[in-house]
A and B are shown apart, each in its own frame.
Chain A
Amino acid sequence: MSASRIAYTAFVAFLSVVATLLVVSLVSEDDAYVPPEKKGPNEGRAVFTLDEVREHDHAESCWKVIDGVVYDVTDYIPRHPSDEDAFLRWCGREATQAWSGHSARAESMLRDYRIGALAGHEPKEEPPAETEPAISTETLTGAAEALTRRQGSVLLSLGSGEYLDGVYRGNFIDRGHIQVSIQFRLEDGKLHDLGYRHLYYRDVDYLKLDDDEPLQAVMRQHEQILSQLEGQPLTDIFRLYRPAEVVDDIDGYSGATLRGAKILHAIRDGLNRGVYSW
């Protein structure tokens, strides 16, 4: 086949694929977002008792409980690198102990098999942010003091670079309002091009403030947070638990309302959603 024929054939095939995608996208009426997680017979069930878990103690259906979370690892059995008997021994049981020592990579793979929580280990709702006192260095615990980038990796339950490079968008929503919308780009585990798409609190749209508004100081602090994160490793977002480290002025008029945790959570929300665009 001549080069011209190959180029032409590839071009026609290419146009067909792109056109098909466009047409399917246009004619499909269902705009609903389909989550990428696996849907099994237990879809919608979030909480299981240990008795229910015990029924799945064999190779045909193998559930394990690790740190209060129930995983259906049946599909993973053929892919498990080590001895199959050792792997099956923990089916239908509390397997936290057996799991300990696995890599961050294994941790991230495990998440794909999560089907729910063990009764008594349901995730607790976080208290509303507004009721928390303003964050100051005094309120931080000793553990937070010792936060390093390494521990940040643990908090993300990932090694650096585990998130795909790309542009992410995330929100912090509370009390019926989107309070923070953020966009950022990840490259080699580093944050770039951070920007607010929306910043709102108590009926004030911070992105539409006039220059002379007193609340501009808050806006400036928020901007400082982003400029501090620019080019930094992803794990640096945990510094936002201590915003005094990342902005100039936490006292005075604005100090009471600056909550780095909102931005931190908006970023984590973006990460959870996955890459918005490449």
Chain B
Amino acid sequence: MKGRYPGDLIITLVVALPLLAALPRIARQLEWSWAALCGVLAQGSGILALSTFLAAAMLSVRLPGADRWFGGLVRIWAIHRLLGVCAFVLIMVHVIFIALAPLPVSVDASVASLFPPLAQWPLWLGWAGFAVMVVFIAPTFNFFGTLHYQRWKRLHLLSAPALVLGLAHGMVFAPDTTLWWLLGLLALAAIIWRKGLSPFLARKPYRVDSVDFLARDVVELNLLPEGNGIAWQPGQFVYLTPMESSLAAGYREEHPYTIASSPGDRFMRIGIKGIGDATEALLDIKPGARVRVEGPYGTFLNEPGIHSRQLWIGGGIGITPFVSGAREWRDGHPTATDVALVYLANRPERAYYLDEMSAIADASDGIEVFAHYSSTEGVLTQDYLQAQCPDFREREVYLCGPLGMIRHVEALLLRAGVPRQRIHTEAFDFL
């Protein structure tokens, strides 16, 4: 979530504008009485909850290329999730202040203000929206245990009716609904694009040309576009949707994968490790199979204005963005001038891209490759980095791999004195 991006201003505006617009009206009601204060806070939190919810919905649009404005899709999802939490908490704050306002009169009055007669339907619209929100947000935050990814995704569609209910609830009480209409339509357009239109308009048809087996559970798919393909930068990722009903799982389900080929390659190469139903099914995909590709997304390895001396640390299948970067090096168009790549693997046979990476390093100036095997050398240490890459503290550091590895290495780097803003990570933990 670090850094500043132009998109942050848009998010801030969407979140703050409705409250700013309502501020003069709310300020007029302000006086030093319990009921008035609670009323003002209830209105303020309600307005902020709705605008935050709308901003979160807008961020779900996932337009290829536009994510760069927000620091990449991974950062967008992190903000989306944060806004979701804020909206959820603000709604509860809003309800509590409504209940608190009449509390000095009596508890009955307080309960009556929360649960009025059904004739006051706008209030019940708010309750209905909140109830739907609890249903779709609970699995996101693991309230009642984790849920299967695809089922979670389907459940998350309930955000659309929750949004409409919340919007209707808020607009009944708003004296001027123009801004709500505008933001509401933008948010709904984002959801409609993502769920209704993008599967047909944004996904490009590709064909599996060949499949390279790298390890028992790892393949690299070599894809060719059937028509206009997409252009990418090293470190970017795409959403891949298999269109083969013969697959054991994952038919027509999209999942994110990092592109492993150089931007100049006519093949889009994607390294896949079988870690779930859908990825395991992809290990058996045959040449000629059709897939759809949407993207590219992300700014990992290709953020503008970045230091040209870099340290890449990749673990497991998280090596793929660096494979793309190294292959670009081989093609003679490197974005950095001096790169040290530390390849983390359990043992030599699990370093499935190492031979190719070493060959590129041998043939090129400015790129070095080190392999670190945890089965013989234990976890990565500061001493190891110091020995292989003595100037690692001055480099821009890129980390990609399993969450546990990222946490360990990030903590190690911070302890070693690498500034936080120079550590870049990419983990698909909730895409």
Contacts and interface: CB of A to CB of B under 8 A. Distances in A.
B143 A8 contact: yes
Nearest to B34: A36
B247 interface: no
A240 B150 CA distance: 63
B123 to A, nearest CB: 8
A24 interface: yes
Interface stretch (A11-19, A61-69, A201-209, A216-224): A11-19
Contact of A25 (B89, B108, B120, B143): B108
Contacts of A33: 105-106
A14 B90 CA distance: 11
A278 B102 CA distance: 10
Interface of B: 25, 28-29, 31, 35-36, 39, 42, 81-82, 85, 88-89, 92, 95-96, 98-99, 101-102, 104-108, 110-114, 116, 120, 123, 134, 137, 140-143, 173, 175
Contacts of B142: 4, 8
Interface in A19-60: 21-22, 24-25, 28, 31, 33-34, 36
Contacts of B98: 278
Contact of A18 (B29, B88, B114): B114
B107 A24 contact: yes
A80 to B, nearest CB: 13
B112 A277 contact: yes
A10 interface: yes
A89 B373 CA distance: 88
B113 A277 contact: yes
A108 B155 CA distance: 51
- Range of interface residues on chain A? 20 to 34
Interface of A: 3-4, 6-8, 10-11, 13-14, 17-18, 21-22, 24-25, 28, 31, 33-34, 36, 105, 161, 164-167, 187-188, 274-275, 277-278
A25 B104 CA distance: 13
Nearest to B134: A11
A201 B113 CA distance: 32
Given A3-B141, A7-B137, A277-B112, A21 B99 contact: yes
A4 B141 contact: yes
Contact of A7 (B29, B89, B108): B89
Nearest to B104: A36
CB-CB nearest 8 A-B residue pairs: A4-B141, A14-B92, A25-B111, A3-B85, A7-B141, A24-B107, A10-B89, A25-B107
B39 A17 contact: no
Contacts of B140: 4
Given A3-B81, A7-B85, A188-B25, A28 B92 contact: no
A164 B35 CA distance: 9
B36 A14 contact: no
Contact of B28 (A6, A161, A166, A275): A161
Nearest to B82: A3
Given A21-B111, A36-B104, A164 B89 contact: no
A7 B88 contact: yes
- Most chain B CB inside 10 Å of its own CB: which residue of A105, A161, A275: A275
A25 B110 contact: yes
Given A3-B82, A14-B96, A165 B112 contact: no
